[in-house]
Amino acid sequence: MLQVHGVHKSFGAATVLRDITFLLNRGERVALIGPNGSGKSTLLKIIVGETQPDAGFVARTSPALVIGYLPQSFEADLARTVGEVVAAAQADFVAAERELQQAADALAAAQDMEVALERYDQALAHFEALGGYERERRATLVLDGLALGDVLPDTPLATLSGGQKTRLGLATLLLGAPDLLLLDEPTNHLDVEALAWLEGFVREYHGAVLIVSHDREFIDQTATRILYLDPDKHTITSYAGNYNDFAAAREQEHAALLAAWQDQQLYVQEVEADIRRVKGLAQNIQSGPKRGRDYHGRISAKVARIGQTRERKLERYLASEERVEKPRQRWGLRLDFGPPPPGGRAVLRVEELAFAYEKSSRVLLEDVSFDLQYGERVAIVGPNGAGKTTLLRLIEGKLEPLAGMVKLGANVRLGVLAQEHETLDPARTVLETVLRGRAMSETEARNFLHMFLFGGDAALRQVGVCSLGERSRLQLALLVLHGCNLLLLDEPLNHLDIDGREHFEDALDAFEGTVVAVSHDRTFVRHFAERVLAVENGCVRDFAGGYDEYLAKKSAAGF
């Protein structure tokens, strides 16, 4: 369906893509992965023609091939309504349906029946070619699957939440039924139910799908092939299978590269030792008995030349492409929360909590009670809008309950990672933000920030111009500085790439305090959670055990 050949792209002196070549065939579901900033979104924009490559080309197998592109941020005229946007996404279908209705009306009142029948047959054939009434049913399934079925058609886009806008953008793309789907972070703002629906939709899609995503389970459930964009070489490598297959293959590659590097180091050490031995022998001969000095001098020079030859050979080897670079761990996001301050075993008590945003409005949470103990790992799950973030803000004290109470234990120090980074001052620099977090010298602050990938001039950048991923890392740095022992994390993995997410998980493993996290990343929740609080329909159900145990209990109970 699509051929990408020899694509090269640079921005100034920085090369982003180098000799990118691959094919996409009908029925394939391919995940494009790599670290933030490696050029994934740039490559998608080149494919759809929004950005021009410096070299190479993108070719469609057919001029009629329709590509549907979902960028990370959905932009639309906010004065339009949901119904107008949905209709525009199906303009060809709506027009065909209108033409069919007009042909049917003309047939009912026709004087020239033959002409009217021919028009009706043509209109019906066109309508059915576009999917007919099955397409209308499919549109309902798409909107319901993305939790938009209850949004009234006359709802202005300006009144939608950020998550609803993103889901509407995805819905309109899917409604268009293009031959090739390009999805850039399609799982953002989707809850577990919507994720499961989208996985099924992608698996059954009639065309090809190219997905940029950091959601490991979503890739596992949908991808048949992985394209890995190397951040150092700026090239692409193809791997068969899903993310787990890719991770296993990369682990084998790393092990093989490490073994080759170790063999190389042993070879270099042996050659260097031999060179030293030969040079020493030449010196010994040169300083030998004076009698026969010419003979000894010739032998010494010959031995010395042998040493020089071996030395040049080693230099050529070390400069050649045969030399193996030492494998290094990328994604230097090293998090050390440090030992938590002393505290009792009881960290938090929530008693008969109720909350509504306005006293006259529907109660969002009611009769919520639970206790948290020191060291627990708790995941808060539930559909979008159920009140998960609200519950965190009640615990934090940013919202006042309608009834009940939230009580923190003695010596509990909260650390909060906000979903929208609202705790950061966009006018301050990264360095100023850290210096305000704890008294330290500028050198100490720079060394500390380096652990969070803020090196050099990056530390002097204003927070407001930082990427969303950089802001997430900065918030994590501040949690470290504050020495917290109770972490409240609202979608902590947003804007982190796959390796960054895995490093974050490792950091939480090392943290000894209590962690309460809201996350839609099922891989993270499975790894992290030892207890689940499920928020739905105003209730909070408490489940002991991990995420899979929660799903099994939920299924058995039928709710």
Res 331: pLDDT: 44
Euclidean distance between CA atoms 454 and 333, whole angstroms: 10
| 208 phi-psi bin (left φ>0, alpha ψ -120 to 50, beta other) | beta
Instruction: For residue 300, give Cα distances in angstroms to 205, 272, 289, 520, 528.
Output: 76, 19, 12, 73, 68
Euclidean distance between CA atoms 537 and 104, whole angstroms: 46
- Residue 286: count of CB within 10 angstroms of its CB: 15
Euclidean distance between CA atoms 374 and 456, whole angstroms: 38
State pTM to two decimals: 0.72
Res 136: pLDDT: 75
Q: What is the mean pLDDT of each run of 10 residues along the chain (559 residues)?
A: 92 91 93 88 91 93 85 68 82 80 81 81 81 76 84 84 78 84 85 86 89 92 94 91 90 83 81 77 65 55 70 72 63 53 76 84 88 93 88 92 91 79 86 89 88 82 82 81 86 82 77 88 92 92 92 81
Res 72: pLDDT: 63
Secondary structure of 294-335 as H, E, C letters? HHHHHHHHHHHHHHHHHHHHHHHHHHCCCCCCCCCCCCCCCC
Euclidean distance between CA atoms 38 and 41, whole angstroms: 9
Euclidean distance between CA atoms 378 and 540, whole angstroms: 13
Res 274: pLDDT: 78
Task: Supply 181's token pair.
Answer: 């789907």
Strand, helix or coil for residue 557: helix
Task: Supply 439's token pair.
Answer: 């008294």
Among candidates 316, 317, 311, 305, which has minimal Cα distance to 275? 311
Res 64: pLDDT: 81
Length of the chain in terms of residues written: 559
Among candidates 492, 348, 333, which has minimal Cα distance to 409? 348
Euclidean distance between CA atoms 185 and 213, whole angstroms: 5
C-beta separation of 29 from 65 below 8 A: no
| Fold for the domain defined by 1-66+178-241 | Rossmann fold (3.40.50)
Res 427: pLDDT: 93
C-beta separation of 398 from 467 below 8 A: no
Task: Supply 210's token pair.
Answer: 């190219």
Euclidean distance between CA atoms 430 and 471, whole angstroms: 9
Domain definitions of the chain by residue range: 1-66+178-241, 254-319, 346-557
Class of domain 346-557: alpha beta
Strand, helix or coil for residue 529: coil
- In sequence order, what are the beta bridge partners of 226? 31, 239
Rg (CA), the chain: 31
Pairing outcome for strands 365-373 and 346-355: antiparallel
Q: Interior CA angle at 392 toward 532 and 374, to 5°?
A: 60
**DSSP state letters, 163-206:** HHHHHHHHHHHHHT--SEEEEESTTTT--HHHHHHHHHHHHT-S
Among candidates 478, 506, 510, 511, which has minimal Cα distance to 493? 506
**Number of continuous H segments (helices) and E segments (strands) in the chain:** 17, 18
**Do the domains spanning 1-66+178-241 and 346-557 agree at the CATH topology level?**
yes
Listed in sequence order, the residues at least 6 apart from 390 whose beta carbon sits closer than 8 Å to its beta carbon are: 355, 364, 365, 399
The residue with tokens 């982190």 is: 496
465-471's contacts with Cβ under 8 Å and 24+ in sequence apart are 466/430, 467/36, 467/37, 467/495, 468/421, 468/494, 468/495, 469/36, 469/495, 469/496, 469/497, 469/500, 470/430, 471/421, 471/424, 471/495
Strand, helix or coil for residue 386: coil
